């Protein structure tokens, strides 16, 4: 039995395009689960925090949370709350940011609408250059298509795509989805995951349920 080391930065020998993402992120407002990978063939993948998590200003206190065993493709972007110019005004211009020039009270966060955290579940696959907007929750096991723009929550084990992203289909029947959400195999001890890896890969749900 081989138990992988989640503390490594580069999980594959000779591959500097793929990383275990949690080991490259230092921002305490970004939480990454174990074994989640990010691949970037265009830029340095270790610069994910700077290149892929955008408009993430401390004044908002918003968080990006990504679960375990996720796969994030090159160029995927997470647009945090400061990307949302406030829409309750008659102008979308960000006057509060320039409070000094306009003699306003110092309240820069009034320049945008705070829609909340971005939360990505476990075992989620986010495709090439997909964009996830603030306030969105993506359920466990979901798949986000290449260049999709996700503006609303995504149900567990759903496949979505397009602009804006819409559900294409479910990955499994409802009974299988319910069973997987109860199993939460990604929270098992690594030894147990390793023991059942062939069952996971082959789709042998009964073996997981009885294991």
With b meaning 16 or more CB within 10 Å and e meaning fewer, what string describes 111-142? bbbbbebbbbbbbbbbbeebbbbbbbbbbbbb
Question: Is pLDDT of 187 > 90?
Answer: yes
Residue 109's pLDDT is 87
Q: Are 50 and 43 in contact (CB under 8 A)?
A: no
User: Residue 161: helix, strand or coil by DSSP?
Assistant: strand
Question: Is pLDDT of 154 > 80?
Answer: yes
Residue 148's pLDDT is 98
- Say which residue the tokens 């759903």 belong to: 158
Give the pLDDT mean for 128-157.
98
Tens digit of each residue's pLDDT (9 = 90 or more) over 62-83:
999 999 999 999 999 999 999 9
Query: What's the alpha-carbon Rg for the chain, to the nearest Å?
Result: 19
Question: Is pLDDT of 211 > 80?
Answer: no
pTM over 0.85: yes
Question: Is pLDDT of 11 > 90?
Answer: yes
Report d(CA 166, CA 187) in Å as an integer: 29
Residue 102's pLDDT is 94
Give the pLDDT mean for 116-130.
98
β-partners of residue 77 are 131
Residue 195's pLDDT is 93
Tens digit of each residue's pLDDT (9 = 90 or more) over 27-62:
999 999 999 999 999 999 999 999 999 999 998 899
Residue 155's pLDDT is 98
Instruction: Using a pLDDT cut of 90, give the percent of the chain over it.
Output: 90
The mean pLDDT value of the chain amounts to 95
β-partners of residue 31 are 65
Tens digit of each residue's pLDDT (9 = 90 or more) over 95-107:
999 999 999 999 9
- Active-site position among 85, 107, 152, 192: 85
Instruction: Using a pLDDT cut of 70, give the percent of the chain over it.
Output: 100
Question: Is pLDDT of 162 > 90?
Answer: yes
State yes or no: is 85 an active-site residue. yes
């Amino acid at each position: 039995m081989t138990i992988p080391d989640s503390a490594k930065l580069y999980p594959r020998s000779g591959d500097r395009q793929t990383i275990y993402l949690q080991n490259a992120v230092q921002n305490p407002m970004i939480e990454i689960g174990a074994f989640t990978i990010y691949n970037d063939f265009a830029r340095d993948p270790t610069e994910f925090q700077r290149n892929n998590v955008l408009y993430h200003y401390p004044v908002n206190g918003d968080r990006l949370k990504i679960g375990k065993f996720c796969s994030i493709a090159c160029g995927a972007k997470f647009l945090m709350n400061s990307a949302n110019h406030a829409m309750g005004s008659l102008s979308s211009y960000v006057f509060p940011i320039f409070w000094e020039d306009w003699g306003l009270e110092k309240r820069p966060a009034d320049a945008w609408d705070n829609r909340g955290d971005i939360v990505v579940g476990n075992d989620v696959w986010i495709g090439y250059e997909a964009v996830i907007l603030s306030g969105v929750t993506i359920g466990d096991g979901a798949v986000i298509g290449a260049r999709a723009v996700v503006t609303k929550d995504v149900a567990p084990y759903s496949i979505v795509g397009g602009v804006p992203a819409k559900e294409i289909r479910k990955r499994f029947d409802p009974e299988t989805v319910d069973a997987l959400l109860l199993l939460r195999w990604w929270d098992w001890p690594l030894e147990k995951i390793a023991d059942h890896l062939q069952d996971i890969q082959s789709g042998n749900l009964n073996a997981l349920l009885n294991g």
